[in-house]
A and B are shown apart, each in its own frame.
Chain A
């Protein structure tokens, strides 16, 4: 079944730039990971702040973004934002698509990063803050030396899941024509027949990308786990 009909592994790897497509996937993932980390940290700060307006804005952002399909955000970025609203991030079509994909991936996963960080903060018992204060640490000191170190450790595991989801979600950029892995798969199955071999190339590519991340973050969260 693998090679009797259609193309085999060697044909595909020879005729199509599979590695190039996965390189775009990796670029999207790395840039969007950085973007969503910054955005998520800002929104998480707003959501745990004592200022009600900031908490409200942060919660609204998370609730809106988390309940909207990423596909919709992607499609809107080109068909809505670029074509109708004229918000072009680059005059070249290809890099406009790439940049919008990074922006939308960051916006979408920023909400999940925010929730991961917040769940990390929630693992820190109230007693820790109270104890820090009672031995005379100022607010800044207790935050820096007692609470945030524990909060980051608690957030490692959910951040890892978010990163894995982000890597897989870069494929959604294919619906706006980004030249990453899923886009190339679509091109291949349109030109050739869709064989199991073709599917396995792409499936294993993603297993190779996500597996180390999963193993690494699990090991890290175990090593950093706060014993309580």
Chain B
């Protein structure tokens, strides 16, 4: 049985004929669409080898694409690191027994999740430029990182909160019963487990950060899309330049997605070991099995 969904049974002879027709139809439609796209490109002289051959030279990569990739990765890495800190702080704040702190953190998180990242970037860029918070050439990067940090930090705060809330109650009860304060229990028992459990979601969030860093294009940040535009002007190959940029984005993101899946699988294998002490010398608790 290899039906992809509960919707369908194993096909009989009539269904098999119908599938053959649909297969042919799907292939033909896809082929026609690809052919139309290629013809359009050919008519616009975009398939000429002279437009594509620059991508085989070192100078295009050294001068345009690699700086672009570096800009994208730099903004993404900085944002993820800061968003992680933001998320843990505000996620923990939302779990605080202090009502006003809980409420404030909740309002901040909900606010930044509702405001578009580009709006935050444009505003941060203006403020940084007009108040000269950073050296001029750093303003675009700082604005991109600010926008991405506030939005993704809020998303991560929600992940942290739900991660802690979804832990088995016994974890907190055990921590409190051995005499830890609430804060100690949160810091050394709940958060480590919650963060481990949300690692795959965090890596998937990296894909979002990486894609959203392209919004920096709107505020003149030198990321991959912006450099591809420059490349397209320099070599008069705009369409190929964007297609190559898209390919690079897709490759990096697919690779990140695979990483998330691998981490998820790895976590699944060591589930139950999460609550064991880090100290290797200590004997593992027999009760901390996968049944918790």
Contact = CB atoms under 8 A, between A and B. Distances in A.
Interface in B115-131: 115-119, 122-123, 126-127, 130
A126 interface: yes
Contact of B242 (A75, A121, A171): A75
B239 interface: yes
A123 to B, nearest CB: 10
Contacts of B266: none
B171 interface: no
A69 B211 contact: yes
Given A203-B115, A207-B111, A72 B26 contact: no
A69 B212 contact: yes
B3 interface: yes
Given A203-B115, A206-B115, A57 B26 contact: yes
A77 to B, nearest CB: 10
A203 B119 contact: yes
B119 A182 contact: yes
Contacts of B126: 189, 193-194
A211 interface: yes
Given A75-B217, A85-B40, A194 B123 contact: yes
B218 A175 contact: yes
Contacts of B218: 71, 172, 174-175, 182, 186
A185 B253 CA distance: 31
Interface stretch (A12-20, A31-39, A43-51): A43-51
Nearest to B37: A85
B44 A50 contact: no
B118 A207 contact: no
Interface string A184-197: 01100100011000
Contact of A70 (B46, B127, B211): B211
A75 B242 CA distance: 9
Contact of B116 (A54, A67, A72, A182): A182
Q: Which of B6, B11, B26, B246 has the most CB atoms of chain A within a 10 A radius of its CB?
A: B6
Interface size class for chain A? Answer: 35 or more
B35 to A, nearest CB: 15
Nearest to A63: B254
B44 A194 contact: no
A48 B44 contact: no
A184 to B, nearest CB: 10
Contacts of A164: 114
18 contacts: A46-B26, A50-B15, A54-B22, A57-B30, A64-B250, A68-B250, A69-B213, A70-B211, A75-B229, A76-B242, A80-B239, A86-B40, A87-B40, A124-B6, A139-B9, A174-B118, A175-B118, A186-B122
Given A87-B40, A207-B114, 10 more contacts: A50-B11, A51-B23, A63-B250, A70-B211, A124-B6, A130-B6, A139-B9, A169-B116, A203-B111, A214-B114
Interface of B: 3-9, 11, 15, 19, 22-23, 26-27, 30, 40-41, 44, 46, 111, 114-119, 122-123, 126-127, 130, 207, 211-215, 217-218, 225, 229, 232, 238-239, 242, 245-246, 249-250, 253-254, 257
